Structures are given as C-alpha cells and as structure tokens.
Structure 1
Amino acid sequence: MKAPDGFLEAHLRARRDGGAKLLVPYITGGIDPRWVDLVRSAADAGADAIEIGIPFSDPVMDGPTIQAASERALEHGATPASILDDLAEADVDVPLAVMTYFNIVFHAGVERFASEARAAGISGVILPDVPLEEMGEWDPAAAAAGLETVMLVSPLTPEDRVPRLTGRAQGFVYGVNLLGVTGERASIGSMAADLAGRLKAVTDVPTVMGFGVSTPAQAAEVASHADGVVVGSALMRRVLDGEGPLRVGQAISELRAALDGG
C-alpha cells in the first residue's frame, strides 16, 4: 500500500500535537524469515512509525548488535530489492522509513531506488553517511518520488549548522543521543537532553532521539526532553536471541506504556 505524500511527518506531527510521545522502533529488514511479522507486530503494539534497516556490509554507524542483525539478514539472502518487495506486502497503517547507506542507493541507481522504495510504501529515508553538502544527487530523486529525507544531528554538530540541518529535515529530525555507534547503554547521560533542547529551540519538525535507548524507563526519560525516541538494538538483540514477533511486540508495548506514563 502506497502511503500518501508527506505521511511520515504529517502522522508524527498529528500524534505529537495530540499529546503523544513518539515511538519509532527499528527493525533490520530480513533478519528473520518472519521479519515482516515483526513490522506488523510493532505497528499493532503502538509504534508511531517504523524504521527499517536495509543491511549493508560496512555499516559505519551501527554497533555490534545491529551489525550482527545485518549479517544474519545477509546470510538469509536479504537484498534491498527483497526487503522492498516484502514491505510492499506488509499492509501497516503507520509510516515506514528505511535506513541505509549511500553505496546501496548508488548501486541500485538513485532514481530507481527512490522510485521503488516509494512504490513499496516507504515514506522516508535516512542516509547517515551523506552529509548535507552532498545531498545534491539524492534530493531531486527523493523529491520526484515523494520521499521525505530524515536528517541526523549529533551532540558535536556546530551550533550554526543545526538550523541548516533541521531546515532541510523532512519526516522528523533524528537526534543522536550519544557519541559513537548504535547500541544498548546502561545510561544515556545529559547529552540527549542538551541536544533535544537545542533542536526544539530551532525547529517544529518532530524531534526523535535515538542511539542507546534500551529500556522503557530510558525511553520515557529521553522522550521527556524531545518528541519521542528510536529504539533499535534492544529489540534486535531479542530477535538475535530467538524471540519472535509476539515477544518483540510485547517489548514494544512496554515502551509504549512507559511513554504514555503507564
């Protein structure tokens, strides 16, 4: 099912403006033969949007858990085309955003990748290895396809660069909680709150914080300073340990309850 143009940002804005804290689970495409059931389970459990990772052999921003998830997906034969084909059949009512690296996009052909992603029902794309100044090849293809490009901002982003990134962001602004790669952490510290404050001071685009969020309590704490959270490694560790859609959905329900104050 092809979502309407602008669905990612419009849906997240509506949820936020209605008083909800946003929950964006991350799922590695192809990690398990039942992986699309993970997507459906996440939607049923209260996800506001779902980030889908398209595996890449050299994931520079991914920590050990997501790397292991990507390796497993590749061992199962996952490809960008197979993941998009699977998502075309997912039939969920929340927006989907794919995260991958530009090598994947370039290899497929920028216009082709954008068009096929949109046809598969994707609303947004996250390209963490493409800096703002090098979006020139991607931007026209994304605009033509109707894809929203999510931009990342880190604690080390210079102050004068933040409004440039947030001004370009569509869908949501992805705030990076911590320095380093993705992965579970025992604590988040003050960086997330500081960065969320910087972001919300310069943009009304939904601000969603990721990297290191592992527990419902952490999710609620981080979201208290922002519009919501991305949770990835903690969920993919469960899948790597053999848990299926039901148990992963229960974990997402617990995150949802914590964000809702339950």
Structure 2
Amino acid sequence: MIQTGQNRIDQLFADRSRKRFIPFITVGDPSLEVSFEIVKALVEAGSDLLELGVAYSDPLADGPTIQRASQRALANGVTIADVLAFVAKLRDAGINTPLVLFTYVNPVMQYGVERFFADLAKHGADGAVIPDLPAEENAEATAAAKKYGLHLISLVAPTSESRIKLIGEQASGFIYCVSSLGVTGARSQLRSDLAEFVQKVKASSGLPAAVGFGISTPEQVREVAAFSDGVIVGSAIVQQIERNLSLLAQPETKAEGMQHIKNFVQQLASGLQ
C-alpha cells in the first residue's frame, strides 16, 4: 500500500514556528504491552514525533543504556515484524503522531529493503532512521522510501562542510543532527560549537533539523531548541524506564511506574515552552 496524502512528518514540520519534542524508546522494553502504554503516555506528555527502536544485537550507535534495553526486548523475542504490528496497533488505537522506526542496516537487508519500506507504509509508519547506512550506499533505501511515501531520515555528525552538504542534498523529512561524536547516552555538557554546526546543516538542505544524542535535562532541551527545530531524547527516557522496571512488572504498581516516566517526559518537554 503506497501512502496517500501528505506524510505526517511533513504535516508536523509545516509549522516551523513551533519546536518539536521527539522521544525514543526501544519497543518491547520491558514488554510489547508496556511499551504500548508508554507510547500513549509519551503522547499525552507532549511528544510531537516518536522514534521506535527495533532491538538489535549489535547496536553500533547506542550506548550502554539503550544496549540493555535492546537486550531486554530481544529476550522477549521482539522482531521487526513485531514492531510493525506494534505501529499498526497504535494507529488502530487512534494515535496519529508521526512514527519513525530506528533500526540498523543488517536487519533491514535481511528483511528486504523494498519489503521493509512497503511494510512500514502498510502498517502506518512515516519513515526510518538507519544510523549505520552511509550516504554513499543509501540509493536503494532512499528510492524505496520515496516509492511508498516515506522518509529515510539522514543523520549527520560534526564533520566537514562538504560531507554536510552531501548529506543535506539527499536528506528527506528532517535531518537528525548528532550533537556529539560517539554513541548515545546522557551527557552533562553539550558541544560549545553545536549551534554553529546545526546552522550549517540547516543551510545545506532547508529541511528542519532536530538534535539528538546526549540530551537529558529540561535545561539542555531549552538550550538546543533555541537553534534547532526539534529535540530528540533517547537514553534519558530509556534510563527512566529502566529505573521503573520493578514497578512496571507488577499490576498493582504499574500505574505508579508509568506516572514516573510520564512526569519525567513532561519535565523534558517543558523545556520547549
């Protein structure tokens, strides 16, 4: 099924006067059922777009927090097919927030590139982030995404101006600006030249630029929002889920654990106001 109408990501960023809050979770951590409730809580807490992580055994871009989340989801047997069904379930529940899958190139190749994007569209997703797919090797994925009305979201880390230009010219939807070199994980300080880097990225394509990797406090959200179109928070939210695993595991305390996560995300999102 090829998507009809405008992609939800394009609809979201049509209004560039508002900054967007973009959380990441690993689907299936601690279970598919609890992940479903977490997504609903994230939307209620003010999330504008959601990155749904597909658990992978060798997540090169992820630090220890998200690696542990992937291990928990893999222990539950969660696959790409399960995450696609999860997206469809969210759509059936009336959640219309843009949804982007965060996965790696190996699982996509095994699934089949064309089939992957066709199924993304069929199940109601809006795009994908594949962090280990180089710009020089993404022609097949880019063509498949375009065919099905989806966006292949490009990542760009601090690098040469020529490489920023190359990535910007082929970017789609929005550009994911990596705030620092290395893997994901909360950091106490952001790069001093981050604003200058993001301005170069925005100039390379004209697309919205969202910043992720290392953002973990409302103050950092506020700082990054001043020069970007969106703020992505992953490890800090996954860490909050991890801290509440024991509460989430028991029916009588699950609501309390869920409220802790929701409160944390509301505090982060408040940095945009």
Compared CA separation, residues 3 and 176, structure 1 to 2 (3 A): farther
Aligned partner (choices 112, 121, 126) of residue 123 of structure 1: 126
Query: CA shift at 1:216, angstroms?
Result: 0.6
Hey, what's the Cα distance between the residues in 2 that align with 1:139 and 1:233? Answer: 27
Hey, what's the Cα distance between the residues in 2 that align with 1:204 and 1:168? Answer: 11
Does 2:29 correspond to 1:13? no
Query: CA shift at 1:204, angstroms?
Result: 2.3
Hey, what's the Cα distance between the residues in 2 that align with 1:5 and 1:59? Answer: 31
- Given that 2:210 and 2:229 are in contact with CA atoms closer than 8 Å, whether structure 1 keeps it comes out as yes
Structure 2: where are the runs of 5+ without partners?
246-256
Aligned partner (choices 108, 113, 134) of residue 110 of structure 1: 113
- Percent identical: 37
- The structure 1 segments of at least 4 consecutive aligned residues displaced by more than 6 Å after TM superposition are none
Residue number in structure 2 paired with 1:46: 46
Secondary structure at 2:205 match in 1: coil
> CA-to-partner distance for each residue in 1:50-102, whole Å, 9 max, x for gaps?
01111111011100101011111111121111111112111312100111001
- Given that 1:5 and 1:123 are in contact with CA atoms closer than 8 Å, whether structure 2 keeps it comes out as no
Residue number in structure 2 paired with 1:246: 259
The TM-score, its normalising length taken from structure 1, stands at 0.92
Query: CA shift at 1:11, angstroms?
Result: 1.1
Hey, what's the Cα distance between the residues in 1 that align with 2:104 and 2:21? Answer: 23
Hey, what's the Cα distance between the residues in 1 that align with 2:162 and 2:99? Answer: 30
Does 2:78 correspond to 1:78? yes
Secondary structure at 1:25 match in 2: strand
Query: CA shift at 1:5, angstroms?
Result: 4.0
Query: CA shift at 1:32, angstroms?
Result: 2.0
Query: CA shift at 1:163, angstroms?
Result: 2.2
Does 2:146 correspond to 1:143? yes
- Given that 1:124 and 1:147 are in contact with CA atoms closer than 8 Å, whether structure 2 keeps it comes out as yes
Hey, what's the Cα distance between the residues in 2 that align with 1:132 and 1:9? Answer: 22
Structure number with the higher helix fraction is 2
Q: Which region of structure 1 is more displaced relative to structure 2, 187-196 or 120-129?
A: 187-196
Bigger RCO of structures 1 and 2 (CA < 8 A, at least 6 apart): 1
Query: CA shift at 1:177, angstroms?
Result: 0.3
Secondary structure at 1:236 match in 2: helix
> CA-to-partner distance for each residue in 1:10-56, whole Å, 9 max, x for gaps?
31232x2xx22111000111112210111111111111100111111
The TM-score, its normalising length taken from structure 2, stands at 0.89
Q: Which amino acid aligns with 2:155?
A: L
Query: CA shift at 1:147, angstroms?
Result: 1.3
Secondary structure at 2:211 match in 1: strand
RMSD of equivalent CA atoms: 1.6
Hey, what's the Cα distance between the residues in 1 that align with 2:135 and 2:119? Answer: 23
- Given that 2:221 and 2:269 are in contact with CA atoms closer than 8 Å, whether structure 1 keeps it comes out as no
Hey, what's the Cα distance between the residues in 2 that align with 1:249 and 1:203? Answer: 34
Hey, what's the Cα distance between the residues in 2 that align with 1:124 and 1:191? Answer: 29
Q: Which amino acid aligns with 1:246?
A: Q
